[in-house]
Amino acid sequence: MSGLPFRRPIVPAPQDALLLIDVQNDFAPGGSLPVPDGDAIVPLLNRIARGFATVILTQDWHPPRHLSFAAAHPGGAPFASVELPYGRQVLWPDHCVQGTHGAALIAALDVPHAALVLRKGCRRTVDSYSAFAEADGTPTGLAGYLRERGVARVFVAGLATDFCVRASAVDAAGAGFATAVIADACRGIDADGSLAAAWTAMTAAGVARLIAADLHPAA
């Protein structure tokens, strides 16, 4: 499946799915882990989503004192890193705590036909950037869900380009789906070159880079 082309203009088809990553209050300006202009993409996401029959939303959904939080580590500082059983972990400010306003989807996101809301990072001791697998490799089940629905191509947008979008796109391609990221429908953190590194990694994984105008009708 990964060899399916993305010839412009692209008309979303029944075998296509749109994956909207972590469009949540804590990643918007004023949130505890804001992505610059994170809320600015919402009107574009709403327009793009109307062209897809299958839309999946994800949410970071952490229990209090999640192990990815700096506050869970004595002396831990946000954006430092520690070694955990599954590998290196960036320590984040507390964010997207289950049931809080910060974890809620941004209110202006208007995708009533979304078929699934997938919550990730729910286990206190394991983080999850990707919609497809937790940091220790445990599958979320999304790949199976998409296959059961006959999906062949996955289009990814949302927050943040260099973390959860990157991980989800790379894993989608690795699972055999033809995968594209809609670049202008994402925003990144860009910490120490992380945005450029993310695009390099996605390109190496076979992920296509699109803009919303590549979709027809143009978003």
SS3 172: helix
Instruction: Give residue 59's identity as a one-letter amino acid code.
Output: Q
d(CA 40, CA 83): 34
Q: Which of 186, 138, 142 is nearest to 164 (CA)?
A: 186
Residue with tokens 């590549």: 214
Residue with tokens 């869900």: 145
Is 136 assigned a catalytic role?
A: no
Strand partners, 182: 210
Is 39 assigned a catalytic role?
A: no
Residues 6+ apart with CB under 8 A from 147: none
Is 164 assigned a catalytic role?
A: yes
| Identified catalytic residue from 22, 39, 127, 162 | 22
| Identified catalytic residue from 16, 60, 164, 171 | 164
C-beta of residue 49 within 8 angstroms of C-beta of residue 20: yes
Q: Which of 150, 152, 162 is nearest to 191 (CA)?
A: 162
CA-based R_g, the chain, Å: 16
C-beta of residue 120 within 8 angstroms of C-beta of residue 171: no
| Identified catalytic residue from 94, 120, 127, 171 | 120
Helix (H) / strand (E) containing 87: strand 87-90
Catalytic residues: 22, 120, 164
